[in-house]
Each structure stands twice: as structure tokens, then as C-alpha cells.
Amino acid sequence: MRWSGRPGVALFLGVVLSFSGTPGSSSLDIPLEVLSHMNIEQLPTITAQSPNTMIAFPFDESYSMRCAAKGNPEPEFRWTKNGQEFDPDQDPRLLPPEDGSGTFIIPNNGNLSEFQGIYRCYASNKLGTAISEEIEFVVPHVPKFPKEKIDPIEVEEGQPVTLKCNPPKGIPPLQIYWMTIGLQHIEQDERVSIGLNGNLYFANALERDSRRDYCCFASFSRIRTIVQKTAMSLVVRNTGLKTDSAPGSGFANSILKSKPSLLSPPGVQTYTHLVKGQALMLECIAAGYPTPKVEWIRVGQGLPDRAIVENHGKVLHIPNVQQEDEGQYKCKAKNGHGEASHFFHVTVEEPPQWTTRPESQISMIGSDVLIKCVATGNPKPTISWRVNGLALNEVPAANRKVFDNKIILERANSSDSAVYQCEASNKHGTILANANIMIMNLPPVIVTEDSLQYSAVQGKTIVLHCKTFSSPPSVITWSKEDSADSVTGPRFFLHDNGSLEISAVEEGDMGEYSCIAKNREGSRAITAFLDIKEPTKIVDPPMDLRILVGTTAQFVCQAEFDRSFNHEMETYWLKDSVVIALNDTENMGYLVDDGILQIANVSYSDQGRYSCVVRSPVDQDIASAHLIVTDVPDAPEDLMLSELSGKSVKLKWIPGDDHNSSTTAFVIEFEESQREPGIWREAQRVPGSHTSALLKLHGHADYRFRVSGVNEVGQGRPSEPSESYKTPARAPDKNPENIKIEGHLPHEMDINWEPLAPIEHNGPGLEYKVSYRQQGTGDEDWQEHVVKRHSFIVKGTPTFVPYEIKIQARNHKGWAPEPRVIVGYSGEDFPSAAPDDVAVEVVNNTLVKVSWARVHKDKLHGRLGGYRVNWWRLRSLLASKKSHGEKHALTFPGDRSHALVPGLRPFSEYSLIVMAFNGRGNGPGSHPVTFRTPEGVPDQISVLRTMDIKKHSVSLSWSPPVEPNGVLTGYLLQYQLINDTEEVGPLVSVNVSDPDASKWLLPDLEAMSKYKFYLRACTRLGCGPATSEECATTPEAIPAIMNVSSSVSNNFANISWIPGGERQDSELYVAYMNNREGNWKISEALNTSKTFHVIKGLEPGTEYTVRLMTKNWVDNSSIFEDVIKTRGEGLASIHGGISTQGWFIGLMCAVALLTLILLIACFVNRNKGGKYSVKEKEDLHPDVESQGMNDDTFCEYSDNDEKPLKGSLHSTSGDMKPADSGDSLVDYGEEEAQFNEDGSFIGEYTGRKEKPSTENKANTQITA
């Protein structure tokens, strides 16, 4: 028969905790699920009681004597006090409980003494009685010292004395203090101490111990009470004989020396008994003079590791004493005159403790029942039994057999149901246990809910529950839906409580399971459903981090899980196994987003172990990482100075926290408060493993020190300054350094040195003794001068002779050590001779080698600095007239006789001189030497222009190079087709053999094509660098326009022209650029039939470049170009005023009329068939400067391979930035340069070049 319960669903994580309820378990609690279906009587069970000892503290309002129990029927309560019946209901002063239990409340009405006693609670129903442990209610009295008159105590100096306290009894703990009436504590040391019994002991009394107000105070902290004993008077008499042998001062009373004796404890041995877990306190207080020292030993073995010696060696303290601490201990008091000892025999005892506690149980009718009770303790506990609170002899039973530690009920029946009590006692306490013995038969009741659904992860373990309650015990079997047999196998395990455990779950384990419980009274069954899920696994776990404090830490955690749990997954983080509550104000620095934990502004408290937990309803995975926070070291502490010697001191410190980065060094700084208060300077660095340093000190200084630690993060904060230490004055430790000997004038010698730092003076009155003598003069006496400054000038010295010099420091305390002697020279003079035998060897057309004979050292008058070569160009060999060109110079340091002079102009005549120099300056120059450089290749051609650009031809004109560097033999002309593509045409070469040629016509070119031209000048040695120019040939026809001109006002310009006779409907474009900004703007298309275009919106007083073009982009192919400048505001107003005058208007009309008549005449003459062609006109004017716009602006000159525009196109819709000029010529100035011994260049030389200028013509007539 199946007991049907309410269906439900339960999901468990792995192994689920099982319920217990079968017979033999440690509890007799019948599950509520069972009680809800049937009424089963239960024995009473005590569920709560007051502690074994209750102290009625006077500041509490009331005291609850608790007793609660459960059972069926509900238990009734009664009390005993001191073994006698006690009914709380009969005393109106006691308050009843509000929860229906047996508890009663004793109010604090000021009279509690009559309630003091030992209480016990009894809970009974018709089945039996349970009893509580004894509860002692203690009413403490207020401790008081008796009123007494204490006579003064008189002793002789050196004799021991004891002031007894005899504190009153009270609630522990008790603390004893000895103080004066003014509440000044009596200081304790090896001679004076307070014993554990509260007495004040003097090992030997001294005269200074005499006083009349020794008071003993006893403090009872639990009752918040302090009581005071009557003050005592102690008089210590001296012997009257003075000696210097007493300790503590230069002289004292003569005290009789004595060997040690023990003031406490008395006798030679003591037996001490204490309970395990208490603190063992052994004390030995000795008398004697000098004051004895106390030592502790444990006979036969060493002291326990937990042993602590306190109170200046007089007390041996072992906390939480254990059985192994038993044994014999010995104290030994010694001084120079003998010793005394005492033995302690320590025994550790224990109160009763359960070894086997009697267990509640349900047994079936007719079975034998065993109730066992075993306890340990020292002394051995006594076991006593009760049943329902009564002694066994008061409740006889024929089937009950009693032994020392067990009871057997043979063939028990329901009438044997009862509460059995076992009580174990020794002198240290009593323990009691109730055991509910139920004798009954009951059919199986399955408490676990029916039709539960379980989920498990493959490879994990799952437990299917079947909690059963029955008597006798049921037989539990499990089966699967696809089989009537019980499930078996190594992966299936049936627990005693009926649960089925399946380990290493497989997909085939999915399905419906049945649990069947049977005993002789009947059977029950339930079903369970098992579903298998994919495991949860963290695939991207957090990694260990080591970061700097104040930065941001980030941990990543990504996991895979069963898709069916998409909306049920939970991810959370732990710090040191505690969940991080993200909505907590204490965790404002944490941010979690999509599996990422961010910790902002990391502090030291954030350091720890972080764990990511990804949890599904059936399993979870966890991954952890450590966050290590680093920072600079904390400031060291407890700086202490020792080994003070005046010249040095030893500094000790305790390192601060290194914050997970080992300290590599300590920086020691000092402050000298007399001279530089507030300024800290580094004194020394020591390795990070050191905690002390020996520091050298200067005299007459007031020092303070501080220390800071250094690790890989940086240098930490400095410590608090040490105490100050002032060193005595002494003679200087050192003499001046960095002595410099200079001679600015021929007969003087300047001596300068680095003065001693103020802290190096070592005392007041610092001055310097300057000693000098000429070197090589034997034992000639030193010339000495004492000065306070740090320089001295010796006058009247010979020119450049060596001197021996020494400088010694001194102050009021004496002289510094003997100084070292240095050698210096007196002042130099100019060299008096020039190098001889100067010769020049031409190496090539730009380099010569110069040699000379060295100047004799006697003529140098100083230390040789080197030689200087000056040269200048006289003329080009193509010119007949000589001129003194720009002078050039090179300096060659050191003693040498030759040098290389580079950078010369080929095919030139030069003049050269050589001179020596020293620290004073240059000597006289040598006789000039003239030389000539051979021929070279020409410089770049300065001007290259295109002109007469036509459909298939272009004319080139040029100027010869400024420096031909030889006799010109002709020119090399090359050109190639480039257009606007990456591919270029072949390079065509033309040799121009006439060196005087200045133009050339290139025929057979392609129409509307872009070419690049290269021209080089040549001599017999070759051709020089090329000058390039680009140009595009014309299309089939170009709009014919004539007389292009421009006029300007303050904010506009007018470009006008006269249309020609061809292609009147062609288009033109006007482009203009602000020369300061460099951006081009271009107009809309203009028909050539129009005769002008107005450019508006110009800035007054600004220069513009204007072009007239046949296409709407800016390049070098323009019909017309002009540079105009708008008028300023003032000029514009004047011009406006003139233009409005009648006479000015009439004049302008006359000029316009004459111009029109002239144009008509020219036009008529041309139509009559005149022979005046454009080509003939150009032949009549070959001069480059006389060419029109068609010659010099349609293609512009460039001295670089690629000549960009001065400004890029700026359309009406955007700007294009200007490009830089491709080439520049360098102007050279006169500078010095240096060369190595082999003549290689190590300096600079300079020259000058002339840069040609070009000019644009504004108004040009164009004929196309």
C-alpha cells in the first residue's frame, strides 16, 4: 500500500544531506510529517534550561530560571530547590513565563538571598519524566575589607618585608592593585612585586620605601566593585654608615648582604591540583640582598612551549593547561651569596565528560533494549541511574538488569517506555543525560515527499531520498521503471536511512525510480524522477594579479553550462570565502559586468583570494585567484641611536610593511638643525636586509635622522625623525678639494678651490692656509697666507712656470690633516713666434694638406693649445683681377705639424697662413702661402626657363652657372615625357657643344603633353648637377586673348582682357591666392567673350597672386600671372575721393578713347595681310627678360627635380595646403672647425653663396 503525499519538485546539488529517524538513531524526535498523519505519544524531552551557574549581578533587573520541554501529551513542570520540592506558583514575588514552559523569573527587588540555592526542573507526562541538570543560583555579597587599625611596620634597610592585603572573597576574577592615597601605583621591579595572593613583597627594603600610605585595592570586575584596605605605614631604618658599595647611586647606606630565602610560597614543596583548561600560575618571591634572580625549570624535561615567565621572572604561567603539563616544577632564586629553591608538584584533573552518552531509541515490542552510559574524568566519575527522575530502587522492574555503565531491558513491552537519566559526578562537577526509551510497533511511514524530481550532472553523485519512520525497522528497496528488480551495481549504494546514492551519474540513469519500505506492520512506496544535465564548467578562470595600490584590478570568469538553465544560472564572487554583496555600501568599489569583476582604486584591504562561483540548480564550478596589492614600503618605526662617539653613531630601526614587494634598500637622511633646519640630505644607503647602520658624523652639528624604505615600486614615506644628537666641535676632517690653478695674466697665478661645506667646518672659525713655492727650488721655504675666502692671487710670478701648491683648513679646534701637494702653472703670454716652413700640398680640387715646422716651446709662453689655419680665396682662375675674399679658419688642437683643409672652390687661387695658440690667445701668423686648386665640375645652372611653348615645340633659355669651376665645354640637355602617371617616357639627351649658348629649341614634341627638362653645365672633368623644369605643350588651340591687365581697390580686384579672333566661346578660369595664407581659390568658368572678372571679398593692404588659366585646376600652365596688393583703408578712401571728381572722370574717358583707336588701327593693319608674325617678333627679342607672359609664366623655372606651386589650389568648396619649396641655397658665415690628427673633419667651416632672384611681370600682352 502506498502512502500518497503531495507531489512536488526538489532540486539538489550533488549529495544532499539525509534525514535520520530510524531506530537506534541519536534522537527520538518523531518527524512532524508522521505526527500530522497519526497521533503518536512521545516521552518528554528537555529542550532548554538555564546555565549550571547563575550569578545574580546587582545591576541586572531580573533573573530567568529557564526550563522548556516537549512531548505528547504536553509535559507538566515542577521544581526542586536544594533537593526539596519548590513551587514557583506559591511565591507571588516570582513571575510566571509567557510561553507556557516551566520557566519562572526572579525579579531583582533587592532581597535575593532567600532565592540562593541549587534548582532542578522536572518535565512529566503520562509516559515519563525528564529532568534538567542542576542550576546553582548564586547571590553575591558586596566584598568589604574589615575595619582595622594597622600598626606601622619597621624594618632595617636590606631586610625583606611583606605588606599583607588579605582581600575579601567575591565573584572572580579578582585583580589586586597597590597604590598610594593619591592613587599613584607602587612601581614593581625585581625587588618589589605583588604576589598572586595580593600581598606586596619587598625582597630588601630601602630607605626610599618608607611611606605612610600603602593601600591595597581589590577589584571585582564582574560585579563592578573596587574596595580599599586601610592604609599601612612602612618605616625603613638605615644603619648610619655611608659607603659607595650600594647599587643604584654613587653612595648609599651600608646594607648587610644576605643570601636568598623565599617569601612565597613557604616550605620546600607545594602540591597543586587544577582542572584541565585552566591557567597554571606558579609563583616564587625571594628575599635577599642583592636582589635575587629567579629561574624556572621542569624536573626531567624542558618547560612547555606555551610557558610564559612573568612579573620579572617570579611567575611561571602556562595557559590552557593539559594532561601532558603534569609534573614537577622547580624555582631557584640566586644572588652572589647563595640560592634557595622550591618544588611544585602539579596534577591536572578533569571534570566528568561523556565517552558514551545514553541515546534515545525506539524499539519494537519483545526486543532487548541496551542503554549504555560511559564517562571519563579525574578523579574517575561515579555513575548513577534514574528512571523518570526517580532512583531505580524506587521503580522496580523484573526485566531490568543494571550494571556499572549500562542497563538492559529484556523482552521489553510498551509499559517499559520511560525517560532514563544517567548522571556522572566527581569533585569537579556533575553531568546528566536523558534517554527516551520508546517501546512500540509502527507500520512504515515514508516522510519524503512523493514524485520528487531530481536533477544531476554527468559524472557527479546524486542521492534519492526515502526517509522512513517505523518500528521495527523497515527493509528499503529501490527499483527503476524499466525493471522490477532492485537497482544494483558498484555505482548504487543504499544508506541506512533509506536514501539511494548514485555515483558517477550516467545519461542512462535518467528515468523514474521507486522506493518501497516494508516491515511486519505493513509497507509504503514513493516514486522519484531523475534528469541528467550537462556539467557547469569555468573555461576562462580568473588569474592571479599583482597590482599597485590605487589602480584598478580586473578578474575575468566565463563558464559553459547546460542550455536548459539559461535563465536560472547564477554567478557571484567571494572574497576570502565571503560573498561580495554588490548592493552593500561597504563594497562600492566592486563592479560586476558580464562575468568580469572590477575593483576600482584598489586598497590594502582588497588584497586576498577571490573566487568566482558559477552555479546552476544542480551543480556549480568555482575558480579562484589571488590579488596581491603592492605599494612603496611603509615608514620604518622606533628609530634609536646607540654607540654615540662624537664621530659616529649607530642608528637602528624597525622596518615598515613592504606591501608584498621586498625592500631592496633603506635610505638614511639627516637634518642639521643649526645650519639647515628643515632640509634633509641623504647620508647613506644600506641593503634592504639591514636594520641598522653606522653613520659618520661631522663635529659641531645638531643631527636628526630619518629612514625610508625602497622597493621595486619606489621609495616610501620617511619615518618620524629620531631624537637629536649634538656632536662636539673638533678640527676639520678634510681639506679643500677641486683646486684650480689659472693664469689670466702673464705675471699672476689665480688659485681657486671648492670651499668646505658648512657642516664640514666641524667647529667655528674656519679659515684656509695657502702655501706655494716654485717647483724645482729644492728646500726653499713655502710662502704661506691664511685667508677666509676660497681664492687667492699670487702676483709677480714669472711667465708660465710650475708651482707647488697646498691648501690646509683649520678652525678654533685645530688643523685638518696634512694636505696633498698639487702642481700648477703661473699665467701665460701670447706665443712670440710663427710656424716656419709652411707648405701646401694639393690633394684634389677641394682639399689641400698643409704642413709646417712646430713653434719652439720657449716661444710658446704657455701650454700649447694647437695651431690655427686661416685662408681666403683670391680669385677664380677664369678672372684676372685678384680680391681678398672672405676669410676662413680651422683650429687643430694639440702638438702637430700638418692638417687637411677641405671645402675649397675648384679652379681658384688661395692664400693661407698658420699660427700657434695657447690659453692666452693666438701668436703671430706665418708668411702667406699662395696655391691654386685644379679644375672641377660646374655648379648648378642658376636660371632655366621655358618660352615660346607651342603644340609640338618648346624653347629653353638659361644662364650660365655662377661658378663654372673651370673652362666650360658645353651643356648636357635631357628631357622625358612625364604626364600625370607613374610611368615616364625614355630619357632623351642632347649635347649642346657651344659653351656660350643660352637657349635651345626642342622640336617634335607631343601635343598637350607634360615634359620634364634637365640641363647640366660641363667642363673637361665632367658635368655638374642638373637644373630641372617642367612644361606642358599647348592643345590644338588656346583662347586668343590680348592685353590682360589687373587693377585693385581696397577689397576687390578687376582682371580685364580683350578677346582675340579665334574660339570666342572658349572657357577661362581666374584663380587667386592670399600670399600670407597660401591657399588658392578658383572662379566658376568664364566665357572668353566676357572682357573682365571682378574678384571680391579681398582683405585691404594684402598681397595676392592672380592667374588666368584655361582649366579649373591650378598648376604651372597659366596664361597670365600677376602679384597684386590691395590698398589700405586710408588709400582707398583717398582714391574714392579722387575718382568722384569730374576732371578725373574726363581724363579717364580720354585715355580709354585713345586706347580704343589704337586697337582698331592695329586690327585693321593685321587684316590687310601684314607680314608681322609672332615668330619673327620673338626672333627680334631673344633676351629672356624681354619675353612676354607666353615665355616666362606658362612654364616656371625650377632648380629642383619637382618644383611645386607656391600655393595649392583652394576651390570654393575647400582648402589645399601649400607645399614647400624643393631646393634652397645655403649662406655660409665664418666659423671655426677642428680636425683629427689624420686630417679628418671634426669641426665646421663656412662660406657664402649668392642666390639668384627671379621677377614676375604684372602686365603682359598675350598672343596665341
Cell of 330: 622547580
Q: Which of 96, 98, 120 is nearest to 107 (CA)?
A: 96
The CA-based angle 1222-1225-1226, given to 5 degrees, is 130
Cell of 57: 549581578
- Range among 482-486, 595-599, 1080-1084, 1166-1170 with highest mean pLDDT value: 595-599
Give the helix/strand (H/E) hosting 872. Answer: strand 864-876
Q: Which tens digit of pLDDT belongs to each residue from 953-965? A: 999 999 999 899 9
3-class DSSP state of 837 = strand
Residue 873's alpha-carbon distances to 489, 848, 876, 887, in angstroms, are 115, 13, 8, 8
pLDDT beyond 50 at 185: yes
Q: Which tens digit of pLDDT belongs to each residue from 15-27? A: 222 333 322 323 4
Residue 518's alpha-carbon distances to 451, 471, 481, 521, in angstroms, are 19, 10, 19, 8
What pLDDT, on a 0 to 100 scale, did the predictor assign at position 8?
31
Rounded Cα–Cα distance for residues 1100 and 1077 (Å): 15
Identify the residue with better confidence: 63 or 10. Answer: 63
pLDDT beyond 70 at 7: no
Asked if 562 and 507 touch (Cβ cutoff 8 Å), the reply is no
What pLDDT, on a 0 to 100 scale, did the predictor assign at position 1040?
58
Give the helix/strand (H/E) hosting 1138. Answer: helix 1129-1139
Model confidence at 98, pLDDT cuts 50, 70, 90, reads confident
Model confidence at 1050, pLDDT cuts 50, 70, 90, reads confident
The phi, psi pair for 139, rounded to 5°, reads -105, 105
Asked if 703 and 697 touch (Cβ cutoff 8 Å), the reply is yes
Q: What is the mean pLDDT of residues 306-333?
A: 94
Residue with cell 618620524: 720
Residue with cell 631673344: 1182
Asked if 707 and 719 touch (Cβ cutoff 8 Å), the reply is yes
Model confidence at 1091, pLDDT cuts 50, 70, 90, reads confident
Asked if 1160 and 1152 touch (Cβ cutoff 8 Å), the reply is no
pLDDT beyond 70 at 1183: no
pLDDT beyond 70 at 721: yes
Choose the weakest-confidence range: 258-272, 492-506, 1059-1073: 1059-1073
Cell of 510: 535518467
Local structure of residue 345 (DSSP, 8 states): E
The CA-based angle 425-346-198, given to 5 degrees, is 95
Cell of 539: 573555461
What pLDDT, on a 0 to 100 scale, did the predictor assign at position 780?
80
Model confidence at 1169, pLDDT cuts 50, 70, 90, reads very low
Q: What is the mean pLDDT of residues 1082-1109?
A: 84
Cell of 741: 690653478
Q: The pTM is what?
A: 0.45
Cα dihedral angle (573, 578, 584, 589), rounded to 10 degrees?
Answer: -60
Q: What is the mean pLDDT of residues 1035-1045?
A: 65
Q: Which residues contact 1171 (CB under 8 A, 6 or more apart)?
A: none
pLDDT beyond 60 at 408: yes
pLDDT beyond 50 at 1231: no
Residue 949's alpha-carbon distances to 1001, 1016, 1118, 1176, in angstroms, are 10, 21, 12, 15
646 Ramachandran zone, left/alpha/beta (phi>0; psi -120 to 50): left
Provide the β-strand partners of residue 1013. 975, 1029
Q: Which tens digit of pLDDT belongs to each residue from 58-76? A: 888 899 999 999 998 899 9
Rounded Cα–Cα distance for residues 1204 and 1215 (Å): 16
Q: What is the mean pLDDT of residues 773-782?
A: 84
pLDDT beyond 80 at 38: no
Q: Which tens digit of pLDDT belongs to each residue from 637-661? A: 999 999 998 899 999 999 999 999 9
Cell of 227: 574596595
DSSP-derived pairing of the beta strands 522-533 and 452-457? parallel
pLDDT beyond 50 at 860: yes
Cell of 935: 679644375
Q: Which residues contact 490 (CB under 8 A, 6 or more apart)?
A: none
Express the helix, strand and coil content of the chain in percent, nearest 5 each: 10, 45, 50
3-class DSSP state of 150 = coil
Residue 113's alpha-carbon distances to 117, 121, 136, 223, 1112, in angstroms, are 9, 20, 13, 16, 121
What pLDDT, on a 0 to 100 scale, did the predictor assign at position 581?
85
Task: Give the whole-number percent of the chain exceeding pLDDT 90.
Answer: 60
pLDDT beyond 60 at 904: yes
866 Ramachandran zone, left/alpha/beta (phi>0; psi -120 to 50): left
Cell of 1117: 600652365
Asked if 1020 and 1234 touch (Cβ cutoff 8 Å), the reply is no
Local structure of residue 1153 (DSSP, 8 states): H
Q: Which tens digit of pLDDT belongs to each residue from 522-577? A: 999 999 999 999 999 999 999 999 999 999 999 999 999 998 888 889 999 999 99
What pLDDT, on a 0 to 100 scale, did the predictor assign at position 283?
95
Cell of 257: 648582604
Local structure of residue 240 (DSSP, 8 states): S
What pLDDT, on a 0 to 100 scale, did the predictor assign at position 81?
94
Q: Which of 1064, 1069, 954, 944 is nearest to 1015 (CA)?
A: 944
- Range list of β-strands (E), 357-389: 361-363, 369-372, 374-378, 382-387
Identify the residue with better confidence: 848 or 743. Answer: 848
pLDDT beyond 80 at 599: yes
For every residue of 967-1001, DSSP letters joined together read ---EEEEEEEE-TTSS---PPEEEEE--TT--EEE
CB atoms within 10 A of CB 11: 16
What pLDDT, on a 0 to 100 scale, did the predictor assign at position 1164?
72
Mean pLDDT of the chain: 84
Asked if 432 and 383 touch (Cβ cutoff 8 Å), the reply is no
What pLDDT, on a 0 to 100 scale, did the predictor assign at position 223?
85
Asked if 428 and 347 touch (Cβ cutoff 8 Å), the reply is no
What pLDDT, on a 0 to 100 scale, did the predictor assign at position 16?
28
- Alpha carbon 874 to chain centroid distance? 70
Q: What is the mean pLDDT of residues 917-922?
A: 92
The phi, psi pair for 969, rounded to 5°, reads -110, -10
The phi, psi pair for 1149, rounded to 5°, reads -65, -40
Rounded Cα–Cα distance for residues 818 and 807 (Å): 9
Q: What is the mean pLDDT of residues 927-939?
A: 95
3-class DSSP state of 1124 = strand
Model confidence at 1142, pLDDT cuts 50, 70, 90, reads low
What pLDDT, on a 0 to 100 scale, did the predictor assign at position 29?
60
What pLDDT, on a 0 to 100 scale, did the predictor assign at position 12?
29
Q: What is the mean pLDDT of residues 1116-1124?
A: 73
Q: Please report how the helices 1142-1167 and 1129-1139 are oriented relative to each other, as an axis angle in degrees rounded to 10.
A: 80
* End-to-end Cα separation, the chain, in angstroms: 124
Rounded Cα–Cα distance for residues 1166 and 417 (Å): 152
